[in-house]
């Protein structure tokens, strides 16, 4: 208990309170979405409060664990979640077009969110063990294969968004190693080959529709393009100060699909306007800034790469989510970190930030 209290006092409280402000913003938006619904029992809001409470417990528990433990057990964790992903493909329930869910009473759990952390932990271990030799092509290939196994299992669900996040995290970490120019060219070529192959042999018809609608939402304004068009309308209608909480027509009249999760950024833009958008982006940017500061404090490569992976996960997920809300990236169902409703994504992000806090506490 004494050690826990000592580590608690040594937390990066700036990072913690930025996280708390985002959680408060999320809860406020979810509460407002229920105000104009007759006979609303505020179930989504109440569930989110439970998710936040459990997430904070996870955050403090993980922050109190020495981050070097994750390196020791990284391979075991990776194998365990590979088996979990296989089990999800076989036994998972289908929700929102994927079989990546486990239903427990009134709650649904998405194991791929935690698999992202497992993949990140092993990548941090591999990058730190071979940091001085990453100029060699074999390390790029091996680290890529670590990600590819998970991507293959996730695409069987199919879940394009989570696959993109894993690949994005790997790419960000690769770029920070000082990749040679010729390897960048090879990776770009490989990317084109993979995209072409995926289009013809991997992507489901609805995923192809989303990509085509991304290029031109007007192709199917009442079908695949509906979400994007409604989201763009919501973002634009907020102007500078917004319409006010629960007063946005797109979200509260339910024109905007999935306002609690995928399109919560559009709700923020409509209800709170440009100032709300700046607040949200500013808090996310401040969290990333503090994480880079923790990277600078770390006295070992594993701590640095672990925090870099957390930075990459927040960057990639934020870019994809905000991009699909503004019509500049395909709709892939990726949540906005710490803001979108739902337990699995929130808990995985709290675990990741807890790991980063552990690095901070043990390197001050």
For residues 7 and 68, the answer to whether their CB atoms sit within 8 Å is: no
pLDDT value at residue 214: 59
Statement: residue 308 has pLDDT above 90:
yes
Instruction: Dump pLDDT digits (tens) for 130-167.
Output: 877 776 778 888 988 999 999 999 988 878 889 989 99
Residue 42, pLDDT score: 74
Q: What percent of the chain has pLDDT over 70?
A: 83
Least confident of 27-41, 139-153, 317-331: 27-41
Rounded to 5 degrees, φ, ψ at 225 are -85, -5
Taking only the tens place, the pLDDT of each residue in 42-83 is: 778 888 899 999 999 999 999 999 999 999 999 999 999 999
Gap between the Cα atoms of 222 and 328, Å rounded = 19
Q: Where are the domains of the chain?
A: 2-361
- pLDDT for res 212: 66
- Residue 271 contacts residue 265 (beta carbons within 8 Å): no
324 vs 57, residue with greater confidence: 57
Tokens standing for residue 101: 């869910």
Q: What is the pLDDT of residues 7-24, one digit of tens each?
A: 667 788 999 999 999 999
Most confident stretch, 174-183, 221-230, 257-266, 342-351: 342-351
Looking at residue 206, its pLDDT comes to 67
Q: Rounded to the nearest 10 degrees, how much is the dihedral formed by the CA atoms of 69, 74, 78, 79?
A: -100
The rounded Cα 261 to chain-centroid distance in angstroms is 12
Least confident of 199-203, 209-213, 289-293: 209-213
Instruction: Say how far apart CA 85 and CA 89 lie, in whole Å.
Output: 6
State how far the Cα of 146 lies from the Cα of 78, in Å rounded to an integer.
9
The CA distance from 286 to 284, in Å, is 5
How many angstroms separate the CA atoms of 233 and 14, rounded?
35
The answer to whether residue 92 scores a pLDDT higher than 70 is yes
Average pLDDT over the chain reads 84
Look at residue 2 and tell me whether its pLDDT is greater than 70: no
Whether pLDDT at 278 is above 70: yes
The residues with which 104 forms a beta bridge, in sequence order, are 107
- Quick one: average pLDDT of 177-189? 72
CB atoms within 10 A of CB 303: 25
Q: Which residue shows structure tokens 């030799």?
A: 133
pLDDT exceeds 90 at position 113: yes
CA 172 to chain centre: 14
Q: What is the mean pLDDT of residues 164-179?
A: 87
Q: Is the dihedral of CA 19, 25, 29, 31 positive or negative?
A: positive
């Amino acid at each position: 208990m004494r050690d826990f209290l000592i580590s608690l006092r040594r937390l990066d409280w700036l990072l913690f309170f930025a996280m708390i402000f985002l959680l408060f913003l999320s809860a406020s938006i979810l509460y407002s979405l229920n105000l104009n619904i007759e006979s609303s029992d505020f179930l989504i809001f109440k569930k989110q409060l439970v998710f936040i409470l459990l997430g904070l417990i996870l955050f403090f528990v993980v922050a109190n664990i020495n981050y070097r433990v994750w390196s020791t057990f990284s391979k075991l964790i990776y194998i365990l979640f590979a088996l979990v992903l296989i089990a999800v493909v076989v036994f998972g329930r289908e929700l929102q077009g994927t079989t990546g869910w486990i239903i427990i009473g009134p709650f649904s759990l998405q194991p791929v969110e935690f698999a992202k952390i497992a993949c990140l932990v092993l990548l941090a271990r591999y990058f730190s063990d071979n940091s001085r030799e990453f100029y060699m092509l074999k390390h790029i290939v091996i680290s890529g294969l670590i990600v590819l196994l998970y991507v293959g299992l996730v695409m069987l669900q199919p879940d394009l968004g989570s696959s993109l996040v894993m690949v994005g995290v790997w790419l960000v970490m690769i770029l920070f190693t000082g990749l040679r120019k010729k390897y960048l060219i090879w990776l770009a070529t490989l990317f084109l080959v993979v995209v072409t192959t995926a289009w013809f042999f991997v992507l489901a018809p609805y995923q192809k529709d989303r990509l085509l609608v991304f290029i031109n939402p007007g192709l199917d304004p009442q079908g695949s393009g509906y979400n994007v068009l409604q989201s763009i309308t919501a973002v634009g209608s907020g102007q500078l100060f917004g319409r006010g909480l629960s007063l946005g027509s797109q979200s509260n009249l339910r024109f905007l699909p999935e306002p609690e999760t995928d399109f919560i950024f559009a709700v923020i833009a409509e209800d709170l306007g440009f100032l709300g958008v700046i607040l949200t982006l500013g808090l996310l940017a401040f969290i990333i800034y503090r994480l880079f500061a923790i990277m600078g404090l770390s006295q070992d490569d594993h701590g640095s790469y672990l925090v870099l992976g957390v930075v990459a996960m927040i960057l990639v997920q934020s870019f994809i989510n905000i991009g699909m809300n503004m019509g500049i990236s395909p709709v892939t169902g990726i949540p906005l970190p710490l803001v979108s409703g739902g337990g699995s994504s929130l808990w995985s992000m709290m675990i990741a930030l807890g790991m980063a806090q552990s690095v901070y506490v043990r390197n001050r």
